[in-house]
Amino acid sequence: MTAGRAGRAGFLVAMAAALATVTACGGPGGDPSPSSSQGAPKARDGAVARTDAISALRVAQKETGGAESARIEGTMELGAAMSMKQSGVLGWGDGVTGEMEIVYTGGSMGEALKQSGGDGTVLARYFKEEYYANMGDGFAANAGGKHWIRYAYADLAEMGGASGEVMADQIQNGTPQQGVNALLAAGDVVEVGKEDVRGVATTHYSGTVDVTELATTNSDLGEDELAALRKQLSQSGVETETVDIWVDENNLLVKKVERADTANGEMNSTVYYSDYGTEVAAQRPAADDTIDFRTLLKQQQGAAS
């Protein structure tokens, strides 16, 4: 494999890693539908029930955002593009930071990774202005011995075109409370009931976000929050999204399930959050084991010409 081909494969796979980790923070995974153990939402007056749910979600938004870090575990399916699972620790006190292991279990992205010499696993490390993706020994054998690709978010936005800008924006703004924000924007948010999630007592909330109605008075988000959510969903080709979250007695997000039709196919995702406030540790890879996104792109362009 030439350096140009290695760069092309590495570019595609690392992009997939970026998208996967974003959904880890914001929420995708593998439960195709929320738990039905509680049946339909409680039969209460609609306005009263929604007001109560909004009040509880406001507290969850504040407490989850203020925790600033958590252990994250999730799965995701996105049309024919990918199926994956991921785990790690992320912080969001001053930009998204931390480390995630992402394992591609199927789809075209997984195949691209294997074609680049990998085994389907990517280790990603996140920092305020950049992130790194370890592509494995197979990639390194065709990339001058370098295992890591460095992506500066500014470079993604500048050189990756519209898709690069979307991914950079989603990573930098992908925090657990985004799931709570989505429900606050939903006009039909309800409390489903009390449920156990991995042995933790939680309250289950559900709602549907319609991008075309995000500017209406049904939303309980501020203008800036609404604009950010509308941009994120629209960039992904999402018109409606169903969101379910489970919140514990400390008002912390424990589980989130999302389902939507996107520009890349149907998305089903589940993420679990635990160990809030845990220490976040991520070190930048050694410079001599890292190749920059810009360099890879130049190699690819040079090989093509």
For residue 94, give Cα distances in angstroms to 28, 90, 114, 176, 222.
Answer: 23, 11, 34, 14, 21
Q: Are 76 and 30 in contact (CB under 8 A)?
A: yes
Please state whether the predicted TM-score (pTM) of the whole model is above 0.85: no
**For the chain, which residues make up each domain, given as ranges?**
47-304
Task: Supply the angle between the helices 177-185 and 223-235 in degrees, to the nearest 10.
Answer: 100
- DSSP conformation letters of 148-166: EEEEEHHHHHHHSHHHHHH
Among 133-137, 262-266, 291-295, the range scoring the smallest mean pLDDT is 262-266
CATH of 47-304, one of 2.160.10.10, 3.90.1300.10, 2.50.20.20, 3.40.1380.10: 2.50.20.20
Q: Are 201 and 174 in contact (CB under 8 A)?
A: no
**Residue 77: CB partners within 8 Å, gap ≥ 6?**
30, 83, 266, 267, 268, 269
- Identify the burial level of 161 via C-beta atoms within 10 angstroms of its C-beta, where 0-12 means exposed, 13-18 middle and 19 or more buried: exposed
Token pair, residue 45, equals 């007056």
Q: Are 40 and 49 in contact (CB under 8 A)?
A: no
The predicted pLDDT at position 270 comes to: 94
Among 78-82, 166-170, 173-177, 264-268, the range scoring the smallest mean pLDDT is 166-170
- Identify the burial level of 5 via C-beta atoms within 10 angstroms of its C-beta, where 0-12 means exposed, 13-18 middle and 19 or more buried: middle
As a whole number, mean pLDDT of residues 284-303 equals 84
Name the pLDDT band for 72 (thresholds 50, 70, 90).
very high
The predicted pLDDT at position 14 comes to: 46
The predicted pLDDT at position 104 comes to: 85
